[in-house]
Chain A
Amino acid sequence: MRSSWSVLALVLVAGAVVIPSLFRQPASLTVYCAHDAIFADDIIRLFEKRSGIAVEVRYDEEANKSLGLTNLLIAEKDRPRCDVFWNNQTLGTIRLMDHGVLAPFKGTGYERIPSPFKDVGGHWTGFAARMRVFIVNSEQLTATEEEVAELLASESLNTVAIAIPLYGTTLTHYSVLAAEMGLEELKKWHHSLQARGIREARGNGSVKDLVAEGACALGFTDTDDVFVAMDQGKPVKMLPIRTTAGKTIVIPNSVAMIRGCQHPDAAQKFIDFLLSAEVELLLAQSASRQIPLGDVDRSRLPDSVQELMNWAGQGVEMEAAAQLNDSVLEWLSGEYVQQ
């Protein structure tokens, strides 16, 4: 290898990296977004168009679960490069608040969201929710609460799937159960599922695949995953997962401003935009069918979301679950990653 060739090649590849960025508008706002890129991107571009503020987005990737945007924000706490965090759940955001990563902000958007879905101090605000649901293969099981309960009480659960609860909404689900039944009862329930041979997948998407492909009859997953399968024409239906007290598990998106961020004005405009009725409607009308939490024009909601709204009205409070999140994760780490 000749040095001159290497230098020339390095210059060429550096050009390939740098040139595309020259054609971009300099960013006036940096957003970390854990919501699905294909749904969030349209909304962020709409904000750019309306406000004239250029936004750079960093999406969360499944590949990066081990670090995740929440952990990245904690790592960057002293020198943040992010202005706004759009999370696709709330427990992680509450954890950031506990680490002092978030700054309070109560704008017009904050006011229209009901109090169970926001922090009293304004550190974070929830909007557009998903729900934990059972995905049922309708060719193998009738989608009724009785049939599901019967299957879950049976001796063998080898046709039932759940994601490993170390991350994502399954961890939130476990934290909610821990808050309601206590950690010891949760452990018994978890061990009972395992002893009866429940299938453990690596994520909710994988649970959806197992049920949609007919390898399992029932799975624990989220509404957006079920809608993906439904839109692909798979024989699946959904039922809400209820806690022993009969509550549903509603998992809102949440948005928060980062403490010490470089563009606070633009950040506040973006947060108010996200928390508007217009964005909640857009998310409800998207393929992921998110459930609006504030007041919206109900006549413009798809039928599937109308039904979800009824279930979401029976949602469990998340405060206690947030407090138990760390203890649940500590116990689960011992279960899944022993040395």
Chain B
Amino acid sequence: MTFLKVRELKKHFKDVKAVNEINFEVKKGEIFGLLGPNGAGKSTTISMISTLVHPDGGDIFYKGESILKNPKPLQKKLGVVPQEIALYPTLTGYENLRFWGNVYGLNGSLLKQRIEEVSKIIGIKDRLKHQIEKYSGGMKRRLNIGAALLHEPELLIMDEPTVGIDPQSRNHILDTVLELNKKGMTIIYTSHYMEEVEYLCSRISIMDQGQIIASGSKGELVEIIKGNKRINLKFDNISDTLLGKIKEISYINNVEIISDEVAITTNNGEAIFKDIINKVSETDSSILSIDVKKPNLEEVFLHLTGKALRD
């Protein structure tokens, strides 16, 4: 039996198809990644899985049972880490954890024990007595995660949990996610940071404009762009003449300017350098550097949508 199955899930807001008949499955014990740019429909999807938003169509099955018909079994075993810091700023870290423990029905010595364990996992044990409005952004994020772990959920949904924090806290959070997964927790991780999803997730679905445009393991997704090379070129001067000359090379699939570089994709890596040098020599521009990119999910997204993940 599939741990979580999403079938033909649909949600429209007026004329906007936020989620448009998507399908995917999450297996027990895996970290499943939902990758996509802002506005792709990731948050709406997890809001529907969390039972917060009712879909316009389709269904979600938790251990074979529809959560639309009976949300209680999932709600008891579900932990959600929202993108926002969903905590009470004027309360202390301890008071926040105690309240969220209460929300999941924990009380007394069991709650105390869980607060102890969770505060160790998220690494803020020594700051629990302080009001969280005095915490750093990273500490708030960690407490935000801790509040979702108190009842030892089977399924943890993390919606962009590392937005706006320092690299140290980010690394701590990523390590925490791996550690929780090692203990058997199933995790759905959404992010628009390709590196995080690559680092954490065993299977990934890429979303764009409310649809899943590709699914699989990282290796399977990279296979999509097998043979495609991405080359970033830096010039002293980027002109229309230069771009026109490069586009004359027949086996170049795509040319775009990203920041101060010209990014090209091609499936002929053998002759490309010679032809580029010849074409550039016909212009006033000179090549400053050439960077051949290793295929990654960013490339896959670019290949599939024609735009960068962070656009």
A binds B: no
A residues in contact (CB < 8 Å) with B? none
